[in-house]
């Protein structure tokens, strides 16, 4: 459920919504949601001074209902 909600929010922000990918991983420190977007949209998702990314993390944390969840915005220009 969290992946779909985060994907929906990010697709509303970006220009290339077909390139939005949200991956879910369970780790020792809780759930990890990785967001990958088109390189041209990376600045939109991060926002000025990280405000948009912070807002996305706040919304996802509220939806998680107290479970530990991390949201990472992955730079697709770097090697994987």
CA pair distance 39, 74, nearest whole angstrom: 10
Residue 77's pLDDT band (cuts 50, 70, 90): low
Q: Supply the pLDDT for residue 1.
A: 87
Q: Supply the pLDDT for residue 27.
A: 81
**Exposure on the CB side of residue 48, measured as CA atoms within 13 A:** 0
pLDDT in tens, 3-59: 999 999 999 999 998 999 999 998 888 899 999 999 999 999 999 999 999 999 999
């Amino acid at each position: 459920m969290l992946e779909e909600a985060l994907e929906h929010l990010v697709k509303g922000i970006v220009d290339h919504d077909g390139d939005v990918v949200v991956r879910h991983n369970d780790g020792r420190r809780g759930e990890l949601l990785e967001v990958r977007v088109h390189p041209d949209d990376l600045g939109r998702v991060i926002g000025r001074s990280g405000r948009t990314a912070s807002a996305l993390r706040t919304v996802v944390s509220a939806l998680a209902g107290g479970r530990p969840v991390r949201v990472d915005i992955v730079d697709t220009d770097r090697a994987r």
